[in-house]
Chain A
Amino acid sequence: MDEEFAFSEASEKEFMETLERYPTKMAALLPALWIAQNQNGYITPPIMEYIAERLDLSPVHVYSVCEFYTMYHKSPPGRYHIQLCRTLSCVLCKMEDIQGHLESRYGIRAGKKTEDGMFSLTLAECLGSCGTAPVMRVNDVYCENLTIAKVDRIIEACKRGETLEEDPMLAH
Chain B
Amino acid sequence: MSVKIVSRNFETPNADKIDVYESLGGYKSLEKLFAMKPDDVIEFVKKSGLRGRGGAGFSTGMKWSFVPKNVDKPKYLCVNADEGEPGTFKDRKILQLDPHQMIEGVIICCYAVGIKTAYVYIRGEYVKPQAHLHSAIAEAYKKGYLGKNIKGSGFDLDIHIHRGAGAYICGEETGLIESLEGKKGMPRSKPPYPAVIGVFGCPTVVNNVETLATLPWIMNNGSEAYAGFGTEKSTGTMLFSISGSVERPGVYESPFGVNLWDFIESSTGGVRGGRALKAVIPGGSSAAILTAEETRATNLDYESIAAAGSMVGSGAIMVLSEDDSIVKALQVIARFYSHESCGQCPQCREGTYYISEIMDRVLAGDGKPGDIERILEMCPSMLGQTVCVLADSIAIPAKSYIDKFRPEFESCIKGAAATA
The docked-state distance in angstroms from the alpha carbon of A88 to that of B7 is 25
The docked-state distance in angstroms from the alpha carbon of A171 to that of B15 is 11
Please give the distance in Å from A123's CB to the nearest CB on chain B. 10
Contact (Cβ within 8 A) A23 B318: no
Query: A24-B182, A30-B163, A132-B249 given as contacts; is B7 within 8 A of A91 (CB)?
Result: no
CB-CB contacts below 8 Å: A81-100 with B: 83, 86-89, 91-93
Q: Is B30 an interface residue (CB 8 A)?
A: no
Which of B53-61, B237-245, B346-354 interfaces with chain A?
B237-245
The docked-state distance in angstroms from the alpha carbon of A133 to that of B324 is 15
Contact (Cβ within 8 A) B167 A169: no
Give the interface centre of A57, A69, A89, A127 by most chain B CB atoms within 10 Å: A89
- Give 1 or 0 for each of B254-279: 1 = CB within 8 Å of chain A CB: 00000000000000000000000000
Q: Is B160 an interface residue (CB 8 A)?
A: yes
Contact (Cβ within 8 A) A33 B165: yes
Please give the distance in Å from B257's CB to the nearest CB on chain A. 21
Select which of A33, A86, A133, A140 is within 8 A of B243 by beta carbon.
A133
Contact (Cβ within 8 A) A68 B184: yes
Query: A126-B336, A166-B128 given as contacts; is B167 within 8 A of A29 (CB)?
Result: no
Q: Is B316 an interface residue (CB 8 A)?
A: yes
Contact (Cβ within 8 A) A27 B250: no
- Give 1 or 0 for each of A142-172: 1 = CB within 8 Å of chain B CB: 1000000000000000000000001001111
Chain A contacts for B248, CB-based, 8 A = 172
CB-CB contacts below 8 Å: B152-189 with A: 160, 162-168, 179-185
CB-CB contacts below 8 Å: B302-327 with A: 316, 318, 320, 324
The docked-state distance in angstroms from the alpha carbon of A57 to that of B184 is 14
Q: Is B217 an interface residue (CB 8 A)?
A: no
Select which of B124, B167, B181, B336 is within 8 A of A26 by beta carbon.
B181
Contact (Cβ within 8 A) A86 B332: yes
Give the interface centre of A61, A70, A71, A130 by most chain B CB atoms within 10 Å: A130
Contact (Cβ within 8 A) B181 A34: no
Chain B contacts for A126, CB-based, 8 A = 84-88, 336
The docked-state distance in angstroms from the alpha carbon of A131 to that of B162 is 26
Closest chain B residue to A86, Cβ basis: B332
Chain A contacts for B320, CB-based, 8 A = 92
Chain B contacts for A64, CB-based, 8 A = 184
Contact-residue bracket for chain A: 35 or more
Closest chain A residue to B10, Cβ basis: A171
The docked-state distance in angstroms from the alpha carbon of A89 to that of B281 is 11
Q: Is B340 an interface residue (CB 8 A)?
A: yes
Select which of B84, B128, B252, B318 is within 8 A of A88 by beta carbon.
B318
- Give 1 or 0 for each of B45-87: 1 = CB within 8 Å of chain A CB: 0000000000000000000000000000010000000011111
Interface residues of A (CB under 8 A from B): 21, 23-24, 26-31, 33-34, 55, 57, 61, 64-65, 68-72, 83, 86-89, 91-93, 124-133, 137, 140, 142, 166, 169-172
26 A-B residue pairs with CB within 8 Å: A23-B74, A26-B181, A26-B183, A27-B182, A29-B182, A30-B164, A68-B167, A69-B164, A86-B335, A87-B332, A88-B329, A88-B332, A89-B243, A89-B244, A92-B320, A92-B324, A124-B125, A125-B340, A126-B85, A126-B336, A128-B88, A131-B243, A131-B250, A132-B249, A169-B93, A171-B251
Q: What are the nearest 8 A-B pairs in CB distance?
A: A172-B250, A69-B165, A70-B166, A29-B182, A71-B166, A26-B182, A130-B243, A171-B10
Interface residues of B (CB under 8 A from A): 7, 10-11, 74, 83-89, 91-93, 96-97, 123-128, 160, 162-168, 179-185, 200, 241-245, 248-252, 281, 285, 316, 318, 320, 324, 328-329, 332-333, 335-336, 339-340
